[in-house]
A and B are shown apart, each in its own frame.
Chain A
């Protein structure tokens, strides 16, 4: 019936991702790619042959340098994001990530039914659930924050003994707790795979949402805008868990 009189949507522009969030996102993406590539190289360096003397080469040194530099950026960027979770807009708020309310769980279940099991809701193939992250995405991001934490603890823990600065030494307790660098290194390596799998699914889902919803999901991390149907906007003004309420 709906297809008979095809509605032409009036879209309303919503500023979802503020500039600091977008900056965080792309810096994070860049350093994670750098960390994964250099991390793989460090774990299993390529047999690069050269006729140069060893003194004139610094291949491994450069890879490690980039890895450590990127790690610092990653860490402080992560800290900044946590800070922004308290001062940013409601879509950046920390409450978006923690499953602490019944509503959060209900929304996660709905997302699971609609986006993964392809169920219909009230005869519709899609339901406009939330403007920012949906609850499922928020929860997955919460898991990535835990993975960030694991990588920071293990990574800086391993780095601590090489550094003369007090800051990495703050992490020295972590390898000590695990009994030494060996297990720490293994955990650091295992956890890296989470980032790879996350990135792939993340990118796919961005395309998926853009495709089935047509609200500018892909470009939202560029300009910060998402486009909401006028009627949905009016009806569900307070649909996202509003921290200011």
Chain B
């Protein structure tokens, strides 16, 4: 019931074989992962060796305030082995949505992994942690999500903040954030945290992080915001296949116009690709089928912090919270312009009245000099 439920960790290759994949499938997967995590071709051998020889990394996957779209994305990643070895086969020792066990057994499995693999397991957190009202907004098995997270983070080798909720709070932390939904990095300070924002994020990133960690024994290189550079160093805009239309100045004006049919750039209908860092344009979704822009929908910038509060989804304009219902910055600017204009007119009138003597004197002086010259 307890310790026997968890088998000793075999290697990834053992699991791939057991699942019935061929060597060819395996090497294909390795090549793909090597490219994804931004390594040179020459590293394929190293990655292969790591997956063949090193035991699987135990993974605990916690779900807090979230919608499970991250898990959904993950099980639809482009190569079947990604989901298979990482989800079915890597020791996903505990994950509320996908594990077979429930109740006491599940809690025991979690506890067991946490003690047995202390300091070795990868903690994957999906969802934000509500801190308001002592955390009662999200409780599992009688514990608040904060307690669960703190316990699980204690012995984790590294933490993957999986998805926008865990990385930056996502929609539930939108103003006024009633549950005080908090991202992981603001709670756990003493562990390496890999942020994988996106709503949902791209499944391969998870596999990439695990393969990288397995091969090199350390987490991949992160950018200034804590995201793996291999996936988040370029904007969606930079790898967008509609980019030439942007540069040419050809835009979709409305969703049903001729330009939309021609596949022009979606910038003017609110595309946030120019301010969103992600690999959507390259990796795409659902096994490389498509991504929002390819389907004619602007990027909403779901992997960016505060995308829900930073302007409207279908407009480029800057919003300005606190002035009416989302007054746009330009509307306020125009009002300020009007007020300034009125103030200037008022001041000009006041000047002519208040300083009339002075102005009169200057004029007289000037005219006098002018007449003196005429003589």
Please list the residues of chain A having a beta carbon within 8 angstroms of any beta carbon in chain B. 2-3, 6-9, 43-45, 47-48, 54-55, 57-61, 63, 116, 118, 124-126, 158, 161-162, 172-173, 176, 179-186, 189-190, 193, 196-197, 200-201, 204, 208, 211-212, 214
Contacts and interface: CB of A to CB of B under 8 A. Distances in A.
Contacts of B336: 193, 197
Contacts of A158: 275
9 tightest A-B CB contacts, nearest first: A59-B249, A118-B354, A181-B275, A176-B224, A179-B305, A57-B248, A193-B333, A182-B310, A60-B249
Nearest to B333: A193
Contacts of B238: 161-162
A181 B232 CA distance: 13
Given A8-B365, A200-B337, A182 B268 contact: no
B168 A182 contact: no
Contacts of A45: 249, 251, 267-268
Contacts, number: 148
B364 to A, nearest CB: 6
Given A9-B365, A58-B248, A161-B234, A180 B305 contact: yes
B309 to A, nearest CB: 9
Given A44-B317, A47-B253, A58-B247, A182 B304 contact: yes
Contact of A181 (B249, B277, B333, B360): B277
Q: Tell me the dominant secondary structure on chain A's binding face.
A: helix
B320 interface: yes
Contacts of B168: 179
A182 B311 contact: yes
B258 to A, nearest CB: 10
A2 B358 CA distance: 10
Chain B contact patch, size range: 35 or more
Nearest to B341: A200
Nearest to B275: A181
A211 to B, nearest CB: 7
A183 B307 CA distance: 9
Contacts of A54: 244-245, 248, 250
Nearest to B268: A45
B357 interface: yes
Interface stretch (B2-10, B208-216, B283-291, B342-350): B342-350
B329 A193 contact: yes
A208 B347 contact: yes
Nearest to A203: B344
8 contacts: A3-B360, A44-B316, A125-B354, A161-B235, A185-B318, A193-B329, A196-B337, A211-B359
